[in-house]
Chains A and B, each alone.
Chain A
Amino acid sequence: DVKVTQSSRYLVKRTGEKVFLECVQDMDHENMFWYRQDPGLGLRLIYFSYDVKMKEKGDIPEGYSVSREKKERFSLILESASTNQTSMYLCASTTPAAGPDYGYTFGSGTRLTVV
């Protein structure tokens, strides 16, 4: 069974802390994504990566950075956490090699609270 695993389900961090959210997939997918989900706003793309060491900004990259040193792992970094980054963060992966019917496999989410 395919899996996208996010290392933490719940995190509470203080304002100004550096925060790492980890995502690992075991499907050898090329593409990985980080989204945040907020009530009334749906999912918004923060960053995505097409391959190792490659990254592209999504809609709301400000205050975030990412790292993809290995194909299976995509890390989201909050350089200096702020209260407006309190949200549910979802990681997803996919591969175009699966053909036109490929869907996105999501992790179970990390609920981050910044106090």
Chain B
Amino acid sequence: EDKVVQSPLSLVVHEGDTVTLNCSYEVTNFRSLLWYKQEKKAPTFLFMLTSSGIEKKSGRLSSILDKKELSSILNITATQTGDSAIYLCAVFDYGQNFVFGPGTRLSVLP
């Protein structure tokens, strides 16, 4: 059965810290891996990763995919309280299906 696992499930840091969120997957017909940020509304798209080893960056956020290890990491540097959210990892397959992980709840304290 297809599965996406995220770790840690919960994380508390202070402003200015750097965090690394992990995602690993077992999905047949893998097409791409996506990271979303979920606050009080629907998930907001962050990154889509399809190729191994190519880092995607957006401001203080970056992400990279390792297809050999079936995993991805999401880095956030110089965290701010506004980064507090649930970060979802999802794998998208060629059947147009999403498999979402349980999410990592990040709390950034002032």
Contact = CB atoms under 8 A, between A and B. Distances in A.
A103 B50 contact: no
A109 B42 contact: yes
A30 to B, nearest CB: 13
Nearest to B92: A104
A63 interface: no
Contacts of B41: 108-109
Q: Chain B: interface residue count, which band? A: 10 to 19
A104 B45 contact: yes
B8 to A, nearest CB: 17
Interface in A21-76: 33, 35, 40, 42-43, 45, 48, 56, 58-59
B96 to A, nearest CB: 6
Interface in B96-110: 96-102
Interface residues of A, number: 21
A45 B42 contact: no
Contacts of B102: 40, 42
Contact of A106 (B42, B99, B101): B42
Interface string B74-87: 00000000000000
Contacts of A105: 45
10 A-B pairs with the lowest CB-CB distances in the bound complex, closest first: A42-B100, A103-B45, A106-B42, A108-B41, A43-B100, A43-B98, A108-B42, A45-B97, A109-B42, A103-B48
Interface of B: 4, 34, 41-45, 48, 50, 90, 96-102
17 contacts: A42-B98, A42-B100, A42-B101, A43-B90, A43-B100, A45-B96, A48-B96, A58-B97, A100-B48, A103-B45, A103-B48, A104-B45, A106-B43, A106-B44, A108-B41, A109-B41, A109-B42
Interface of A: 33, 35, 40, 42-43, 45, 48, 56, 58-59, 90, 100-109
